[in-house]
Amino acid sequence: MSEKPDPEDPLMATEALLEKARKETERQALAWQKAHQATDQGYDLVRHFNSERKQLSGNEQFKFTDTIFANASGISLFDLAKSLGHPADATLTLGTSQILLSGLQSNIASYVSAPIDFGIKNPFPKTIAVLESQQVPIEDRLPALKRRLSKFSDHFSDMITGIEADLMNQSNPLALSNAAKNLRETLTAFIHTVAPDGVVDLWPDCERDEKNRPTRRSRLGCHTFLGLAKANWPKAWITQVEKRIEGVVDSFHDLNKFTHINEATADALKTARVSLDRFVSEFLLYLDTADEADDVLLDLLRGPVESELTELAEGELHSWFEEGVLFSMAQTVTCEEETVRNGKGRNPLLFPEQPCQTI
């Protein structure tokens, strides 16, 4: 007879728990460290930006734009710092910090590269130097985009691989320009795959450009709204989808200034990484939203069906059910009476029981 195995050594089990706790603590500590680094980077960027911004005079157009960008950057930095005040989840805080930092970098990069007469030549050398030193992590987001797009076509995976190669080619001064072109081509190929002409032409909310072609917004909308008219969807969902589409299209247009580089526009490449990263981030957010469409539609359909079933259960269906139960009970009683009356005292072998006849 075989002996039962000894129970697990309690000391070994304790050591395993302690090792797991140490790893989790290290992971949490690393996430907090990265979250604080993101906030520090945001503060350093805004500090240099504001320092150089105060030295500018400019015209009325500049003053208006200056106020908008300054306010937006201040709010972004405040939100970035505030995210560290909720220590419930280090991973969530890290993700929030990175998104806020990306938005802050994109906001300031758009400002310093805007076609505005700031009154002096090269007005933001320190700000641009900080942006370049922070090395916006677009390379970290591209694998996620590749994974998400590959389910539509292997061709997209190849396109993202080419963009990753562009970013790694440090010796090519136009590497970022090539990456911008390829990202634009990736979106164009994507929207024609998920919303081809034969599909988007039938979408009730399709809008067309001056050449009578469906717009990018329409193709993105047709895909996310599953080809159904907007009027059929909840207002909150429409607002969310349109926000994501606007983010993709706006960041897509922002890549234009990096696709045709000449001597006059060469300086724009200094902020290209920020714009590239913003586009990839917006694209990923759009894909997240599009993935939710089926669940939103299911909830939308489930509501009326459940309401109708409840109404039937409490109304006509309930009455029908009661009538059926009462009729069945009456028939059962009748059958039992017949059985007792006709079978009492009989030999079941000579007089087998006859089934009751139901009406």
Statement to judge: residues 123 and 92 lie in one domain: yes
DSSP 208-223: B-TTS-B-HHHHHHHH
Statement to judge: residues 80 and 179 lie in one domain: no
Find tokens 């909830």 and name the residue: 299
Statement to judge: residues 146 and 78 lie in one domain: no
Q: What percent of the chain is predicted at pLDDT more than 70?
A: 67
- Least confident residue range of 92-101, 207-216, 319-328: 319-328
Is there a domain that residue 350 lies in? Answer: no
Is there a domain that residue 355 lies in? Answer: no
Q: At residue 290, does pLDDT exceed 60?
A: yes
Give ∠ CA 180-142-172 in degrees, rounded to 5.
Answer: 45
Q: For residue 241, what are the domain limits?
A: 137-291
Q: How would you class 111 by CB atoms within 10 Å of its CB: exposed for 0-12, middle for 13-18, buried for 19 or more? A: buried
Name, in order, each residue with C-beta under 8 angstroms of 327's C-beta and a sequence gap of 6 or more.
none
Instruction: Taking the CA atoms of 224, 241, 217 and 76 in sequence, report the sign of the dihedral they define.
Output: negative
Q: Place 5 in a pLDDT band, splitting at 50, 70 and 90.
A: very low
Write down the pTM of the prediction. 0.58
- Least confident residue range of 17-21, 101-105, 164-168, 351-355: 351-355
State the total domains in the chain. 3
Q: Place 347 in a pLDDT band, splitting at 50, 70 and 90.
A: very low
